[in-house]
């Protein structure tokens, strides 16, 4: 039986014993201005630094792929799979709706490449191919996902597929996604370069993702995005700063850019709370009174995107 890391254990104890506050406030005593519907930020010990409706039921979109990666990393560590195993792409996998890598029926691809496709390109066809390779069938793999979720204490999560495409029964919360993210990175460090990757190559094509948070000095080193029209824009983030580890879940931001802005705002708040950074004083007017920042044009959730999980 594998030992549970102290960080994961402390996080699990908190999630069971100490309900998160409905919402905390920013360093200047005003609520943080976020577009996200649900947010949760945890520190190294799994303590809540910021919470906004962390137990609210939500569509996880492609954050589902975190569990697909968990089971894949578990199989790799147990020796039931190898990184370079050739994976045969079924007709079902090839037809999985977008977003996709463009896998073709009957071809083979290394398991490593498919896992990069899952983590970096959020490729739904790659997730299906991985599920069938490891589980025998997609349905069997989904059953294993739910069994593992129960084992990890994801009490408000139900998986219906390995990729996150819309399904009314597929639900989760920021609390559960935070626990899953922590356990994935702590139990299987090999997942960290997958979730921290920016590019990979398949059949001569370079797949890349442009994530502003990777370039920001906020310590973000692992990240998974998710989007459907129902879910909005979701993020699972792991950041390391001055030896401290932070896990952040953002669910239901109105646009992709707002999801990144929400994440940056909440991470910065966490750095202030833990003393890693000094909070700037609020801006003041000519009479010394605090002034509010200028209003930004409202940003509405994009309806032009495809329904596929991303």
Strand ranges for the chain from DSSP E: 38-42, 48-52, 86-88, 108-110, 199-202, 205-208, 220-228, 232-241, 244-253
Residue 287: per-residue pLDDT: 56
Q: What is the pLDDT of residue 309?
A: 78
What pLDDT was estimated at residue 296? Answer: 47
Q: What is the reported pLDDT for 216? A: 83
Q: Quick one: pLDDT at residue 44?
A: 86
Domains, in order of start, for the chain:
6-25+33-273 (3.40.710.10)
Q: Which segments of the chain have a pLDDT < 50?
A: 1-23, 25-29, 290-306
Q: What is the pLDDT of residue 285?
A: 53
What's the burial of 204, exposed, middle or buried (CB within 10 Å: 0-12/13-18/19+)?
A: exposed
Q: Distance between CA atoms of 230 and 106, rounded to whole angstroms?
A: 33
Please state, in angstroms and rounded to a whole number, the distance separating the CA atoms of residues 14 and 276.
23
CA 33-18-15 angle, 5° bins: 85
pLDDT at 106: 98
Tell me if residue 150 falls in helix, strand or coil. Answer: helix
- SS3 (DSSP) at 160: coil
pLDDT tens per residue, range 96-133:
998 999 999 999 999 999 999 999 999 999 999 999 99
Residue 235 · residue 224 · CB < 8 Å: yes
> Known catalytic residues?
62, 65, 122
| Chain centroid to CA 181 | 7
pLDDT at res. 277 = 84
Whole-model pTM: value is: 0.84
* Residue showing tokens 């906004």: 52
Q: For 167-207, write each residue's pLDDT tens digit.
A: 999 999 999 999 999 999 999 999 999 999 999 999 999 99
Point out which residues pair with 50 in neighbouring strands: 41
Measured at the alpha carbon of residue 177, what is the angle toward residues 175 and 183, in degrees to the nearest 5?
105
- For 237, residues 6+ apart whose C-beta sits below 8 A from its C-beta are 181, 213, 220, 222, 223, 246, 247, 248, 249, 250, 263, 267
Burial call 121-146: b when 16+ CB within 10 Å, e when fewer: bbbbbbbbbbbbbbbeebeebbebbe
Integer-rounded Cα radius of gyration of the chain? 19
């Amino acid at each position: 039986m594998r030992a549970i890391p102290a960080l994961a254990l402390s996080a699990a104890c908190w999630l069971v014993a100490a309900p998160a506050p409905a919402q905390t406030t920013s360093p200047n005593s005003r609520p943080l201005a976020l577009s996200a519907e649900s947010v949760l930020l945890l520190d190294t010990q799994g303590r809540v630094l910021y919470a906004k409706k962390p137990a609210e039921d939500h569509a996880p979109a492609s954050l589902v792929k975190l569990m697909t990666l968990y089971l894949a990393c578990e199989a790799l560590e147990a020796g039931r799979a190898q990184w370079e195993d050739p994976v045969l792409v079924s007709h079902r996998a090839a037809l999985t709706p977008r977003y996709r890598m463009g896998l073709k029926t009957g071809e083979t691809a290394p398991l490593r490449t498919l896992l990069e496709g899952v983590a970096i390109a959020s490729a739904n066809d790659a997730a299906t191919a991985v599920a069938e390779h490891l589980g025998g069938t997609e349905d069997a793999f989904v059953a294993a996902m739910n069994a593992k979720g129960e084992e990890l204490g994801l009490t408000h999560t139900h998986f219906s597929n390995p990729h996150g495409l819309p399904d009314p029964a597929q639900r989760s919360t920021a609390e559960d996604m935070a626990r899953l993210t922590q356990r994935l990175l702590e139990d299987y460090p090999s997942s960290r370069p997958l979730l921290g990757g920016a590019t990979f190559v398949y059949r001569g094509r370079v797949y890349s993702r442009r994530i502003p948070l990777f370039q920001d000095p906020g310590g973000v080193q692992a990240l998974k995005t998710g989007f459907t029209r129902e879910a909005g824009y979701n993020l699972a983030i792991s950041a390391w700063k001055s030896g401290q580890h932070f896990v952040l879940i953002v669910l239901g931001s109105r646009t992709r850019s707002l999801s990144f802005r929400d994440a940056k705002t909440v991470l910065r708040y966490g750095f202030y709370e833990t003393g890693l950074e000094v909070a700037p004083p609020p801006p003041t007017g000519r009479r010394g009174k605090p002034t509010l920042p200028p209003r930004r044009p409202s940003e509405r959730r994009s309806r032009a995107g495809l329904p596929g999980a991303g």
